[in-house]
Amino acid sequence: MKKALFVFLVLVTGCDSVDAAFDCNDICNRYKDCFNSNYDSGACEARCRDKADDDTYRRQADRCDACIDDRSCASAVFNCTAECASIVP
């Protein structure tokens, strides 16, 4: 089912939009999991997706998501602050 949804989203919205949505979801939920359990990840995702129309912002979200992938919370803070600071507070 997830694969079918992904294919549908790619066809309807384009790869960049789908990639940005997944990046935003990952980044915002990771911030909530690691730093603030009360953080409104839904609002963060909406802001991130709205800004992802801008190529520079979308590339920044890509870099942030790639940086935090497979890192512990502590490691992500020390290694990914520059990549993620413009995405989450």
Is residue 14 one of the residues assigned to a domain?
Answer: no
Instruction: Specify whether the CB–CB gap between 28 and 88 falls below 8 A.
Output: yes
Instruction: Specify whether the CB–CB gap between 48 and 20 falls below 8 A.
Output: yes
Number of domains in the chain: 1
Lowest mean pLDDT among 10-19, 36-45, 56-65: 10-19
According to the 3-state scheme, what is the secondary structure of 21-64?
A: HHHHHHHHHHHHHHCCCCCCHHHHHHHHHHHCCCHHHHHHHHHH
Structural domain that includes position 49? 26-89
Query: Residue 77's pLDDT band (boundaries 50, 70, 90)?
Result: confident
Is residue 82 one of the residues assigned to a domain?
Answer: yes
Is residue 2 one of the residues assigned to a domain?
Answer: no
Is residue 60 one of the residues assigned to a domain?
Answer: yes
Is residue 18 one of the residues assigned to a domain?
Answer: no
Q: Which residues have CB under 8 Å from 83's CB, separation 6+?
A: 60, 63, 64, 66, 67
pLDDT digits (tens, 9 = 90+) for 55-71: 899 899 999 999 999 89
Q: Which residue has the higher pLDDT, 28 or 12?
A: 28
pLDDT at 19 over 90: no
The reported pLDDT for the residue numbered 52 is 85
